[in-house]
Structure 1
Amino acid sequence: METIFVEEELPVADLQKLGLFRDGKILLEPDAVQALLSGRRTELIGLSNLQADGFVIERLDAKLSLDRSPDGIVVVKAHPIYKDAQPHPQLNEHEAAVLSEKGLASIRKVYGNPPGKSATYVIEYDPETKEFVSYRPEQVKAPEKVNGEKLTDKQKEDFRNGDLVTLSDGTRFQHRASVSKGILSDRKALVLSVLLDGGISYLLITGIRNLIGANTPQKEAYTKGYKEALEDMQRHQRSTGELQAQQLADENHKRGYSRGSSR
């Protein structure tokens, strides 16, 4: 899966200060690492014995994200749970209210500094930390297919902008930067087909959160399209595994290796 950051850029020193790197290992779940590398926030993580400004914080629940400074340095940012909604410099009071109080999913804004280098940002509200989260739509990788149904260019654009996308069978979903999986849906699971390096990669995403402001419980995942896409993914995995095994065998043959060889 293409990401905004690469694993080698993870700031080990920052993770060590948070107690999340020890003995050469990152003490985060794979989903959390993937969220960080993709430019999203993790789920809430319990941090212990933090030292800051001469104080020791025994426990702090916070989400984590990565940020890249203008000079290219990547740092870990912690997002604790605030008592009140934190202001955002690009939102007026009305915009902040409709996001935090009225349940609007997101707002698109054009801003930037210096003048002439403005860009479009999507701003959403994270009710867990009470912060506003912004992202660049062009940095979001839209899937080619969802549950086997090919998305139109308009649907891909809507997804990158955080707008609701609806499939022909009624399945609804949208991109969400403030959740670790990066997607919300009225279905509990989806199969995404993503174009990577000229080929298709399948992603089975389970445990998806419901849509913002949903008035009905999530539906089960097992639509016809989901089942067929899951079968396609399994066939792809089998064929890819067989191909990799054959490539390895061919390479070993070229090098003079064979089963039982003592080399």
Structure 2
Amino acid sequence: MNLISYNENKLPIEDLETIGLAAGGQLLLNVDDLKALLSGRRTGLMQLHNLQAENIHIKTLDAKISLAPDENGKLDLLIHPVYRKAVTPSFLEDNEAELLQKGEVENFQKITIDDKGNKKELLVEYDADTREFIVSDTDKILAPDMVNGEFLTPAQKENYRKGKQVELPDHTVFNYSGKDTHGIRSNKIALIASILIDGGLSYVLYKGLNALFNKKRDAKEAEKLSPGYHNAVKDMQNQQRQAIPQVGRTDRAEEQSR
């Protein structure tokens, strides 16, 4: 799950204009790519134009982009080009790398030791678009507290952080994916996730989700969304309405009192 991490007003517009993804201060990104950027994920593969660095000019380049804050909190634009050959992480066995590249497995969980001697669990995936291994720290993967109005058990949350599939009583199946534009895949085209923050619920509505790894889905079945999903959407909409100031109602009350 990815709550919105960055403010759209803080995007590096000048950098985006330089590569043809903004013009006149206006973004030229589709909705899914913008959501991916603001949520700290990578966009889909796109064609960038007129890249320049150290006297090198690249007319066009197929790449994905993402954002990362610098030491001062300013957002830097990161470009992930299509590599000629994937560089295998040192902690990944050759046969594991081969299975990922062939698309025979979705991910691997690996335990490594950091510079301070602490164990760290990593989720490793392969992005065939850019020929790059995507590595996620499982401790930093945010698991939802609820999906479609159903509370997840501690075991389900742990499975989610490890990239494993989680199934709900309404037969919605989903799992985390660091290489997916949405950050989550499912057997359904949509789901709504919630997380408890300061005693309240924050909602994230996912639509147009990609299918589960190496699994075809029936379009009609994928579009059948459960009562739990629809109820969660209503709860989200009610929360949004309550957050809107009742300006018009206040004005009318003032007029009547005059």
TM-score with structure 2 setting the length: 0.82
| Residues 50 and 56, structure 1, Cα contact 8 Å, conserved in 2 | yes
What residue number does 2:223 align with?
Answer: 221
CA gap of 1:118–1:6, structure 2 versus 1, over 3 A, is farther
Residue 237 of structure 1 and its aligned partner are, at CA, apart by 1.4
Structure 1 range deviating more: 175-184 or 236-245: 236-245
Give the RMSD, CA atoms, in angstroms: 3.2
Residue 116 of structure 1 aligns to a residue whose secondary structure is coil
Deviations 1:99-158 (A, max 9, x none): 112421211223354232453221111122111111122322222222222211111111
Give the Cα separation in 2 of the matches to 1:197 and 1:8. 25
Instruction: State the shift of 1:19 in Å.
Output: 2.6
CA distances 1:29-80 after superposition (whole Å, capped 9, x unpaired): 3432331232321111221222244343332221112235678664222122
Deviates more, 1:179-188 or 1:94-103: 94-103
Alignment of 1:151-170 (within 5 A): 151-170=152-171
Residue 231 of structure 1 is matched in structure 2 by: 231
- Which residue of structure 2 aligns with residue 127 of structure 1? 128
User: 1:105 matched to which residue of 2?
Assistant: 106
Residues 143-180 of structure 1: CA deviation (Å, up to 9, x unaligned): 22222222111111111221111122332110111111
User: Following superposition of structure 1 onto structure 2, how do residues 1-263 of structure 1 map, counting pairs within 5 Å?
Assistant: 2-7=3-8, 10-68=11-69, 74-217=75-218, 219-223=221-225, 226-238=226-238, 240-242=240-242, 244-246=244-246, 248=247, 258-259=254-255
Against the structure 1 CA distance between its residues 239 and 183, is the aligned structure 2 distance closer, same or farther, given a 3 Å change threshold? closer
Q: Please list every run of 5 or more consecutive structure 1 residues that lacks an aligned counterpart in the other structure.
A: none
Cα distance change of structure 1 residues 111 and 75 upon mapping to structure 2, 3 Å threshold: farther
- State the shift of 1:13 in Å: 4.7
Q: Distance in 2 between matches of 1:39 and 1:106?
A: 20
Aligned residues of 1:31 and 1:181 also touching (Cα < 8 A): yes
Contact 1:4-1:139 at 8 Å conserved across structures: no
Seen in structure 2, the aligned counterparts of structure 1 residues 144 and 259 have a Cα distance that, compared at 3 Å, is farther
In 2, the alpha carbon distance for the partners of 1:39 and 1:240 equals: 23
**Are the aligned partners of 2:194 and 2:202 in contact in 1 as well (CA < 8 Å)?**
yes
Deviates further, 47-56 or 183-192: 47-56
Report the Cα offset of residue 97 of structure 1.
Answer: 1.1
Cα gap change, 1:59 to 1:259, in 2 (>3 Å):
farther
Counterpart Cα distance in 2 of 1:154 and 1:9: 37
Paired amino acid for 2:26: K
The CA distance in 1 between the partners of 2:91 and 2:22, in whole Å, is: 35
Question: Does the aligned pair in 2 maintain the 1:2–1:196 contact within 8 Å?
Answer: no
Residue 166 and residue 231 in structure 1: after superposition, are their counterparts in 2 closer, same or farther (change >3 A)? closer
Letter in 1 for 2:152: L
CA separation of 1:199 and 1:221: change in aligned 2, threshold 3 A? farther
- State whether residues 3 and 204 of structure 2, in contact with CA within 8 Å, keep that contact through their aligned partners in structure 1: no
For 1:258, what is the secondary structure of its paired residue?
helix
User: d(CA) in 1 for partners of 2:191 and 2:228?
Assistant: 11
Counting matched residue pairs gives 256
